[in-house]
Amino acid sequence: MQDKKQVVFSGVQPTGKITLGNYLGAIKNWRPLQEQYQCIFCVVDLHSLTVTQVPAELRKNTMDLLALYIACGLDPDVSTLFVQSHVHEHAELAWILDTVSYVGELNRMTQFKEKSRKHADNINMGLMNYPVLMASDILLYQTDLVPVGKDQVQHLELARNLAERFNSRYSETFVVPQGLVPKTGYSIKSLQDPSAKMSKSDPNENAFVALTDSKEDIRRKLRRAVTDCGSEVRFSPDKPAISNLLTIYCLSSGESVEQAEQRFAGKGYGDFKSAVADAVIAMVEPIQEEQKKLLQDKAYLESVLKRGAESASKTAAKTLAKVYRKVGLVPASR
Ligand code: TYM
């Protein structure tokens, strides 16, 4: 008998513009996983509601992100691609997991604290509950591996803790997932402040490159990117801004750090930044073209979502039924 493939689950919020950080730290690394694992990639729209959204924009961003997934090489014939709100079990399992989550541990989450500071007028329960919903996404599919960037590692740790806590309280129910964090690109930094991560919610548009940015915008943003003292293009802790640009260059072009350092030896930051822009443009242009094409075929995208939701629902319903049984809920007679 063939061994069952391990399950991979990951997702991106359809909030604002998807950045180079999201791509290099996450989506780009998902494509090769499809060859080896049973992959489930979700557009996590319910998560987006934790900050105020314009409904029409959320709807557009959701379809844009689905098209982007496919344009980045996620294949709906091989992987399950779906929208979180289409599978109601996500919200339902989150409720059960809430009952084994402690207010103290959620209060301590770095992202909750950061977002509470940023959105001081809207510290809603969803913002605090967010990592529990993320745990629900992961645990519903009995996920083995979760490919994410570094900023999600703390949330993943909570998902592991909740799985272990539930298992020990109610007997073995969930697979305890492992994180899959890339060796490079796990934290792409802001182009304006290399001590902060590149974030799609950054109010300063010069701080990030969006995957949908025009060539001109990409060139301008990289030209304006902050640099470090000196003029040498070298990967080093005392050169955080240049190291970040080198990481972006290497991941976009496929060159190693050593090759890149050699290529730019004796050249100034200006030449280097323009080469980074060239590499980024060469990487994102085909994705942009493919995404545009896909967005013109609404019927196709809807069929992908329908198929994805049907497939995801099967596993999700099975896990939720098991969980309801374990905690002592009486099954509904049908
Ligand atoms: P989100 O939408 O903020 O980011 C999506 C993915 O991009 C990674 N990422 C980065 N990687 C490197 N450098 C950066 N500057 C950078 N910025 C973002 C994130 O680590 C993430 O992998 N809570 C999640 C979405 C989510 C999820 C899940 C992920 C919901 N449920 C279940 C995995 C499994 C989030 O807000 O990601």
Q: Are 138 and 11 in contact (CB under 8 A)?
A: no
Closest-CA residue to 80 (of 131, 19, 8, 137)? 8
pLDDT reported for residue 201: 85
Is residue 306 part of the annotated active site? The answer reads: no
Total count of residues recorded for the chain:
334
200 labeled binding residue: yes
pLDDT reported for residue 159: 98
Does residue 301 sit in helix, strand or coil? helix
Residue 145 Cβ inside 6 Å of ligand 1? The answer reads: no
22 labeled binding residue: yes
Rg (CA), the chain: 21
Is residue 183 part of the annotated active site? The answer reads: no
| Ligand 1 atom at minimum distance from 150 CA | 20
Give tens-digit pLDDT for 48-76: 999 999 999 999 999 999 999 999 999 99
Give tens-digit pLDDT for 160-184: 999 999 999 999 999 999 999 999 9
pLDDT reported for residue 2: 57
CA of 52 to the centre of ligand 1 (A): 18
> In which band, very low, low, confident or very high, does the pLDDT at 119 lie, cut at 50, 70 and 90?
confident
